[in-house]
Structure 1
Amino acid sequence: MADFNGTAGNDAIQPFGSNLLLTLSGSSAEGGVYPVINVLVNGQKLVSGVTINADHAIGATQTVSVQIPAGVTPSTVSLEYTNDEQQSYTAGDRNLYVSSITLNGTVLPVTSASYFRSADGSTIPGQSDLNWGGALNFSGAVVANAPVHAPGTVSVDGAAGLDTLYLTHAKASYTVAATSAGYTVSGNGETVNMANVERVHFSDLSLALDMNGHAGTVAKLIAAVFGEAYLANEQYVGIGLNLADAGVTELQLATLATSLPLVTQLAGSASNSDFVKLVYHNLTGSDPSASDLASYTSMLDSGANTRGELAVIAAESNYNAAHLVGVNQSGIEFI
């Protein structure tokens, strides 16, 4: 068994240092405004004004990582919900939902907290559904007994789901290498041997390792539609991953990608023939022959295929595989 083991769901795993991980979701009201939170440790505000826009209604969650300063021994932890002053609860109101809160890998049960409601000044037992603005406050043994994990070597098995490993330094200070079981990430005196871990979150960016999953789909489409150089565009990768993780299919992603103004810019015009030339050149490094150009352009002009469908064919082709060797070995960066 690994030192840290995930569940069948989407796990956030923090193996080193003193760190809070909050997995939250929200519902919106009043013009689509979602809950806003602060996070405090020992009364010190470490995170301020974070909007929780992961929609609870569709099962989405959002993880907030809070690094606790060196030398600080937590005695109290508070989650403040700052933008709901109502005094009566209605189902359509803005609300904050707590899936989990962990301190140094130790779960802080919401039932061990007290829930201060700012609208009427009352305090009730902690609960996962924060239907009123206020603060969920943890203290006592549940906080004091959470261990701080020193640097060293650990193993992590994320099991099923979409699992994220959280590290506290910038990515450049680590090395990432593929192994028979998954990946190993090393640096700053820390080594993590990972299996079934899909994402690694560093202090400055994140790394997607699920190259046989959503990350691979996004990488293949980016290389085919925009070109291999765009695999280094962390923002584009992040947008694609967010959509794929939310359930958007490969064809839907391809249809969206091929409709972007960037494609027209790269192709030189909005014509189908120039689109074919762009994708063909991205795959092979050369222009299509007259017969290939005519054949693929005809597929689009006749309506037999859409640009999105042609992009999926290109993305899944053997020609495209050569452009993905690097990211297949070390993952793909995103923000």
Structure 2
Amino acid sequence: MDDVIGDMGPSFLGSRLKRLAERMQAGAMSTIADAGLPLQPGHMAVLAALRGGAMTIGQLARVIGISQPGITRSVGQLAKLGIIADVHAADQRTRCVELTTAGHAAAERAATDLWPRIGMAAEEVIANLSGPFMAQLAAIERALDEASIAERAARAEPGGLRLREYEDALARDFHDINVQWITSMFSLERTDREVLENPRARILEPGGAILFVEAPGLGVVGTCALQKTGASSFELTKMGVRESARGLKAGEFLLDATIARAKAMGADPLYLLTNQKCAAAIHLYEKLGFVHDAGIMAQFGARYERCDVAMLYAGDRQKEA
């Protein structure tokens, strides 16, 4: 049978992309239904965005990249389902929403099982693409003819976090992951910009390291760096994990791997600087062997205006204490 849209080539590119999106979303819809969630594919981005806390309609539109009317429509549907609720906003003309208890439960379930499965299915579909873009579109369509997103997602098995080394193609991930968490609580400082915009010159060339954690179906979800600050001293810095990976223990996996790398590099001392607002991160640091240290604060704490917590790695003995 002829494929009118496909045969028309780039002239019908918009229609072809729309058709492809409908096929992808149909598979995602089936997977969402199988998971027992009363949601639609269009709701997923709102759910993911609100995992980080309450947001206004305008903020949601900006971070998701669609129109405010589209966001308002999704928010209304999710509110009827009891997934989100309005919260007080300083400007009464602005609508602000957050996840309800049911919404948080749905988001956690989606993040730890649903999104990885759909992501793994999509990765499988595009795994062997090469050549011109139109040929790649045809290859995706053939792959979906062989097995839909829903079929591929059903057989996917999320898990298996993987460590990745720095490469220049990951510089944007290093930058964006850290900018996201820093600006959510603080302001970017000059030292932040210097490191995030020049990771090779500021971290790698002086003898440091940058690691990433990748989750099946979600891609790179976290990063952490070791910055050399003396003959053998290293600062564990610029550690961040995307909201999409919350619940996967990606942060603990990454921190453990970074500590192991620091030991292999002969780090002495290994320390970090943070802020008491980062309570969850501090708890994780304590769990994996860091202790609060006044000497580290006195020697290195002035590097960041936001620093009011300094910690020293005390080793396995601290973890066992």
Query: TM-score per shorter chain, which class?
Result: under 0.3
Compare CA radii of gyration and give the structure with the larger one: 1
User: Which is richer in strand?
Assistant: 1
Please give the TM-score of this superposition, normalised by the length of structure 1.
Answer: 0.22
User: Which is richer in helix?
Assistant: 2
